[in-house]
Amino acid sequence: MGLTSTKVLVLTVVIAVLFFAATIWLWPRLSGRTWRAVLGRVGMLLVTQLALFAAVGLAANKSFLFYGSWADLFGQEEELGVVVDHASGPGRHAQLIGTRTMDVPGGNKPSVGGQIHEVRIEGVKSKIVSPAFVYLPPEYFQPQYAKKNFPATVVLTGYPGTAMNLIKGLRYPQTALMQARAGKAQPMIMVMMRPTVAPPRDTECVDIPKGPQTETFFADDLPRAVSGAYRVGTKPRNWGFMGNSTGGYCAVKIAMAHPDKFAAGAGLSAYYKAAEDATTGDLFGGDPKLKQRANLLWALDNLPAPKTSLLVTTSEKGEDNKKPTAQFISKVKPPTQVSSITLNSGGHNFNTWKREIPAVVEWMSKKLTP
């Protein structure tokens, strides 16, 4: 029985209830002061609490799908993602704050391990100011590449994650470096951020009427600022967008809505319409057209197909986006191209995304040119 199985959850709840009832029933017999009675009481309390915690944990996991299987829970799931292609019908506004060495062998030398810049992005059109990390590959610092431009990819976390998770938790720069060293990807620059550029509000990467112009920031201000500060081109073929969860939704949506800025978008465990809850507030000001545009399935059915490449990921077990992902793929029409990664099992968590990132980086590399 799987980790997310209803039978497992029901069985665990029943066991917890039985242990609780047994504790109540046997407590009078264990009321003495002998060491056996004391150990009996401690044992009954411990077992009952463990059973209750297990039931609560399984219920929470089934609801939020943090882990898709027992192997996923214990970190034993090692299957790597495989991309499957599907046929388908400059101003300078990136202020350097500091630098970080790469957590790889030779990382103390930029020409060997690359380097991470901590920057402050100033949005000319959106008026949004947000921090970011910019990964520069080792080739960026090597003399023979001194006049060479590099492709760049925006990488977003989920909400309300921090950009540091992309470096320490998901290890995007390290993966990009390893894939390039293995000859599976070209050296590329990564601009790593969280989608929350107007904290604490979850803006879902949309331009909110009379509110933060988040889509404008990511689609226009960010590429302009980075291209003005680093050796990155300004054409769509120079830029990609990827992310996980909320960041995945943003990546796919912005690549679809702005093919004049991004050649490709990859969504890891993405959803396909903007969330609306207490963290987002009113995103659309009551405008049904804005709400429809933020629904990617509606956009595929009703708007002209953009000339861009898309990659979406899901799992056979453990993720709740399997059905909408299949719907998304089926709705894509030329000239849009779509690819996918489907793991056998995997929840909405770092372990799942780390198994997909190497293939996503390789896929993105093929879609971009310097």
- Give per-residue pLDDT as tens, 152-186: 999 999 988 889 999 999 999 999 999 999 999 99
Q: 324: burial class by Cβ within 10 Å (0-12, 13-18, 19+)?
A: middle
Residues with Cβ < 8 Å from 12, sequence gap 6 or more? 51, 54, 55, 58
The SS3 call for residue 290 is helix
Rg of the chain in Å (alpha carbons): 24
pLDDT tens across the length of the chain (370 residues): 677 677 888 888 888 888 888 888 888 877 777 888 788 888 888 888 888 888 888 777 665 555 666 666 666 555 556 665 655 554 458 889 999 999 888 888 999 999 999 999 999 999 999 999 999 999 999 999 999 999 999 999 998 888 999 999 999 999 999 999 999 999 999 999 999 888 889 999 999 999 999 999 999 999 999 999 999 999 999 999 999 999 999 999 999 999 999 999 999 999 999 998 898 999 999 899 999 999 999 999 999 999 999 999 999 998 999 999 999 999 999 999 999 999 999 889 999 999 999 999 999 999 999 8
What pLDDT does 370 receive? 83
Contact of 223 with 234, CB cutoff 8 Å: yes
- Reported as a single tens digit per residue, the pLDDT across 37-61 is 788 888 888 888 888 888 888 777 6
Q: What is the DSSP letter of 41?
A: H
Q: What is the pLDDT at residue 179? A: 97
For residue 261 the two structure tokens come to 């800025």
Candidates 314, 245, 320, 317; CA nearest to 71 is 317
Question: Average pLDDT of the chain?
Answer: 89
H or E element in which residue 40 lies: helix 35-64
β-pairing, 239-244 with 264-268?
Answer: parallel
The DSSP secondary structure of 149-188, one letter per residue, reads -B-EEEEE--TT--THIIIIIS-HHHHHHHHHHTTSS---
pLDDT digits (tens, 9 = 90+) for 271-285: 999 998 898 999 999
Residue 133: Cβ-neighbour burial (10 angstroms; 0-12, 13-18, 19+) = buried
pLDDT of residue 90: 40
Closest CA to 363 of 346, 344, 338: 338
